A = this chain, B = another copy of it.
């Protein structure tokens, strides 16, 4: 029999306890021995809860109990969680976590501690919730060179954008609803600003390359400025706005961005709606792959934690968790990142001023097609060619010198020019090239 402990009885921690009670038979069979929940550490009381008998408040009871071989960390944060996890790994106890902040920030150090004491530090639940992605990347696609990841890694923001797209809700209304339904926390700024997605992307790149990536080195934009009008323009080019994490991995570095982007046509990420997540992988032998499922929530996350506990139980005296080292992966300057964008331009009101502004945009950007929303006379949009961000910046600056132009309302990256686009030919909307101004 193996004794385990859970640190932190919040949403995820209580989900893990529930998973162990619900599936105990299956779990014991697959672990090859019985797994028993000996302690739950939390400063709060939970009278009447199923774990009441095993609740403790003192971390040292776990640290000093030689019978406890595996500990689940579902406290969150990088303060006490880091101290506790370090101490446990030093004592040779394996740790399983769902804490992406801890993994993104201290992963390399914690893997080293685990290796030193013959324990394991597993973190499958920190990316993609219940979707198995970390282990497949590490143990299934081993014959492949992975060259690209693009994904929807945050259920909260995807729910908000889906509601805005499908039900015409404004950002604030969609956010309130997400909070009411429990899909967003009261302070959801880490989700909205893209920081949660950014940490997950940093973890995925590190799993693939074996090198450390600082989340703070990844160019990150949130969805807080996305409006219904952005979504309407996206629809005119047969796309949806999604918060996309993207990494292009080269031999010695990585291009990495987190930003709202327009995902067009039959791209596989276009069907990832609501709280679901999708992670698309380009591998040089196996081709395009996507992992899809519930990327967050109590039980899906608990499912991934439970699988990692079983993996630890099957490898009690065998370190299998050396995912990356302290060596830093080079993150390229975003200015050299090549992409296409939809640019929304605010111009002086009136048909003539707008026509002059459009003429200027076409002159600089060589764009044949321009989009105008039917009720607006003071803005238009167009799609740029693929070019480096800094070239785009220069051309935008030139555009802003035009007296009929007030400013740039938004710049949205366009995702999906690869072969995956042709997955659904029938969805491609044809827009006449002869008509310069398309009122939508």
List A residues at the B interface (Cβ < 8 Å).
19, 22-23, 26-27, 30-31, 124, 129-132, 135-136, 139-145, 166-167, 266, 268, 270-271, 273-274, 276, 283-294, 297, 299-300, 302-307, 309-311, 422-426
Contact = CB atoms under 8 A, between A and B. Distances in A.
Given A166-B424, A271-B271, A303-B141, A294 B285 contact: no
B136 A303 contact: no
B292 A304 contact: no
Contact of A284 (B23, B144, B284, B288): B23
B135 A27 contact: no
Contacts of A303: 141, 143-144, 283, 285-287
A384 B425 CA distance: 32
Contacts of A273: 266, 423-424
24 contacts: A26-B144, A27-B142, A131-B286, A131-B289, A135-B136, A139-B311, A140-B304, A142-B307, A143-B302, A143-B307, A144-B307, A166-B426, A167-B425, A266-B271, A266-B273, A276-B423, A283-B303, A285-B303, A286-B300, A287-B297, A287-B300, A288-B293, A290-B292, A292-B292
**What is the count of identical protomers in the complex?**
2
A304 B144 CA distance: 9
Nearest to A124: B140
A123 to B, nearest CB: 13
B307 A141 contact: yes
A307 B274 contact: no
A425 B132 contact: no
Nearest to A276: B423
Contact of A425 (B26, B166, B423): B166
A50 to B, nearest CB: 16
A168 to B, nearest CB: 10
Contacts of A302: 143, 285
A164 to B, nearest CB: 12
A57 B82 CA distance: 59
A13 B144 CA distance: 16
Contacts of A305: 143
Contacts of A129: 286
A124 B426 CA distance: 33
A253 to B, nearest CB: 17
A285 B305 CA distance: 11
Given A26-B143, A268-B292, A289-B292, 6 more contacts: A22-B284, A23-B144, A143-B310, A285-B299, A286-B304, A292-B292
Contacts of A290: 290-293
A34 to B, nearest CB: 14
A27 B141 CA distance: 10
A22 B143 CA distance: 10
Contact of A132 (B19, B31, B140, B285): B140
Given A143-B303, A144-B23, A271-B271, A130 B266 contact: no
Contacts of A271: 266, 268, 270-271, 423-424
Q: Which residue of A143, A309, A310 has the most chain B CB atoms within 10 A of its CB atom?
A: A143
Nearest to A294: B287
Nearest to A129: B286
A161 to B, nearest CB: 13
